[in-house]
Structure 1
Amino acid sequence: MSASVAVGLIGAGWIGRFHGESVALRISGTRLVAVADPAPGAAASLIERVSPDARAYTDALELITDPTVEAVLISTPASTHTDLVVAAAEAGKHVFCEKPMALTLEDADRAIGACAANNVALQVGFNRRFAADFTAAHDVITAGGIGTPQLLRSLTRDPGITADVASRVKPWTIFNETLIHDFDALLWLNPGARVVEVFAQADALIHPQYKEQGYLDTSMVQLRFDNGALASAEANFQATYGYDVRGEVFGSGGMVSAGEVTRTAMRHYSSPGVLADTPRVNIELFHDAYVAQLVHFADCILSGRAPSVDGLDARNALEIALAAKESVETGLPVSLLAVPQ
């Protein structure tokens, strides 16, 4: 293997384009050698901008079997993730997969098993672990700086969703693709503990006309850990002021918090009031974290180390997401005590 990793990108949508740009232009340890997307011209358009010598495919499996590709970056719709992870692993390619890695625990186990059997690295895109403030909070907690975690909170608020987009949102997206970030963050910020009970409430408050088809835009989830800690995770798709992600852990010896609703400390004081530099999308708020997670992926491949956020982490967060779905459906708390880790 060379001093840089030859990466093939599968999926040239908005997040895929950002990852492709990072691989090609922002990270010294990676090269973008191929892009696959079924949409006519999507792969070629990205390649033309950032890596003119890369190859364009419409078939992901052709990219996976390309002998020059050493690692595969998957940023396709969630329902395709597991099969692509397995195909890449069986072809001997290292895998970075956007969350969720799978939509069932059986598929999560299939993805984990394929990567283990073929001795390839598997990293999942939980970018908050690579944000400087969240990393600092985690380091304080693991060093004993707040004592034993007792109360935890994590939230995600997206800056608006149109009726057209809401009509196309897959059922349970709020748990599987939004709050799954919060579930992972809460597990990470309570090291060594596992969730034993989940109680969730959710509704369609912004576009109620789509609730019958499974659309939900507002949720509050309560978690109980086996070390006694209690946590809440909340999400909403109508933060009119901008993209908002925060976390907090209160412990027996103190508290840490992470997350800001602005990119900088700049404030503009004028006649309309006080204005701040508020990001509208996640790749603005978490720009550096999105890049840092791919730097970590490349470093792990080049050094032979295991990624710090892997398939088991993805499975653990998915387990909570699936329990939240069940809780909404039944109106009751869901116990995870019987689920093996």
Structure 2
Amino acid sequence: MTTRQPLAVGLLGTGRMGSFHAETLSHRLPGVRLAALADPVPGAAQRLGDRLGCPKATTDVGELLRDPDIDAVVIVTPARTHAGLVEAAAQAGKAVYCEKPMAVTLAEADRAITAAAKAGVPLQVGFNRRYDPGFRAAHDKIATGGIGTPQLLRSLTRDPKLADPARIPPWTIFLETLIHDFDTLRYLNPGAVAVEVFAMADALIRPDFKAGGLLDTAVVTIRFDNGAIATAEASFQAVYGYDVRGEVLGSAGMLTVGDIRRSHLTAYGPDGVAAECVTYDQDLFRDAYVAELADFTDAVRSGRTPSVTGEDARAALSIALAAVESVTTSGPVRISDLEHP
């Protein structure tokens, strides 16, 4: 798309994850510079820009998108704003990296994908587990037949602590948390298509918020068109740490991936055996977060298709929306029924 050096990237959203991505764009990627920041919260972009030496900071997203010096944008805003910003960025001629989920409805996803295709700009979505060395090695082994045909798959995400329940939108556990697991299961079952979903979810951590739409614990069963059966599991409160793991049983073997330990150190003492656990996603997936932006900026410079596309995001969203429908109806949902209700 562009051969300009260094590649000028603007970032939308300067919260916790946005700040990490901004640091990566500023300091961790050769040939890339953080050219501008935008956040509607007064002072937020300016404070981060001052810390990182970013020359432009604004509360006006449109101002950043209109900047002719910006080659690409990284979207790290609240989930319900993603699809509209992808459209706007693509229409402005910017390459787009968007954190998950890219959209929260299939119609939004289709508009975002169409906008990027029409503008001829790359669109990549932030499914970071694809960039973790363990998950990538598992994918590669499965894709080359290393464990035969996948038959049973499992992916789980357990957060260490429930955030403020009053600030969690309905269906977040499917649309923003398990969306990672749905993509992971697709990644670990290469070429297969999810066809049917059955989900159960409840408010077991904070039942007093269930009436407001909070679900904090969920299990989802997914059937793929190659016959494989998968489960995805999430909890918003695993008191021991941030726990992300996967497992694939195939006709010729099994793979497991994921480790909650901060390091391979294990302490043996009078009180038993102990290991320090990760409690923060940016610790567990630090290198993966950097690698996905490195991959995106390389795709922008080289003109190749990004490794994780808008279509991948749409496929994971289809599973998430089927899970929402399954919980609502207390029954299995065929994903094709979402396309043609």
TM tier relative to shorter chain: over 0.9
Q: How much does 1:53 deviate?
A: 4.2
Residue 8 (structure 1) aligned with residue 10 (structure 2): yes
Report if the CA contact (8 A) 1:137-1:256 is conserved.
Answer: yes
**Alignment match, 2:103:** 102
**Alignment match, 1:92:** 93
Residue 199 (structure 1) aligned with residue 201 (structure 2): no
Report the AA paired with residue 95 of structure 1.
V
Report the AA paired with residue 304 of structure 2.
R
Report if the CA contact (8 A) 1:159-1:238 is conserved.
Answer: yes
**Alignment match, 1:150:** 151
**Alignment match, 2:173:** 174
Report if the CA contact (8 A) 1:249-1:255 is conserved.
Answer: yes
Distance 1:137 1:21, change over 3 A: same
Report the AA paired with residue 158 of structure 1.
D
Report if the CA contact (8 A) 2:203-2:217 is conserved.
Answer: yes
Alpha-carbon distance in 1 for matches of 2:112, 2:154: 30
Aligned pairs (5 A) from 1:1-341: 1-50=3-52, 52-162=53-163, 165-338=164-337
Report the AA paired with residue 64 of structure 1.
L
Q: How much does 1:263 deviate?
A: 2.7
1:247-296: CA deviations, max 9, x gaps?
A: 11110011111111113101122344333231111111000000000000
Alpha-carbon distance in 1 for matches of 2:337, 2:38: 41
Alpha-carbon distance in 2 for matches of 1:8, 1:291: 16
Q: How much does 1:34 deviate?
A: 0.3
Q: How much does 1:239 deviate?
A: 0.7
Report if the CA contact (8 A) 1:29-1:295 is conserved.
Answer: no
Q: How much does 1:338 deviate?
A: 4.6
Alpha-carbon distance in 1 for matches of 2:83, 2:165: 25
1:195-240: CA deviations, max 9, x gaps?
A: 1110000000001111111101000000001111000000001111
Alpha-carbon distance in 2 for matches of 1:26, 1:273: 40
| Other structure's SS at 1:110 match | helix
Report the AA paired with residue 291 of structure 1.
V
Q: How much does 1:245 deviate?
A: 0.2
| Other structure's SS at 1:212 match | helix
What TM-score, normalized to structure 1? 0.97
What TM-score, normalized to structure 2? 0.97
Greater alpha carbon shift after TM alignment, 273-282 vs 24-33: 273-282
Report the AA paired with residue 55 of structure 2.
A
| Other structure's SS at 1:216 match | coil
| Other structure's SS at 1:167 match | helix
Alpha-carbon distance in 1 for matches of 2:54, 2:104: 35
Alpha-carbon distance in 2 for matches of 1:147, 1:280: 34
Question: Gapped runs of 5+ residues in structure 1?
Answer: none
Q: How much does 1:339 deviate?
A: 5.5
Greater alpha carbon shift after TM alignment, 62-71 vs 151-160: 62-71
| Other structure's SS at 1:73 match | strand
Aligned length: 338
1:128-184: CA deviations, max 9, x gaps?
A: 00000000000000110000000000000000115xx11110000000000000000
Alpha-carbon distance in 1 for matches of 2:5, 2:137: 30
Root-mean-square deviation (Å): 1.2
Report the AA paired with residue 234 of structure 1.
E
Question: Gapped runs of 5+ residues in structure 2?
Answer: none
Report the AA paired with residue 41 of structure 2.
A
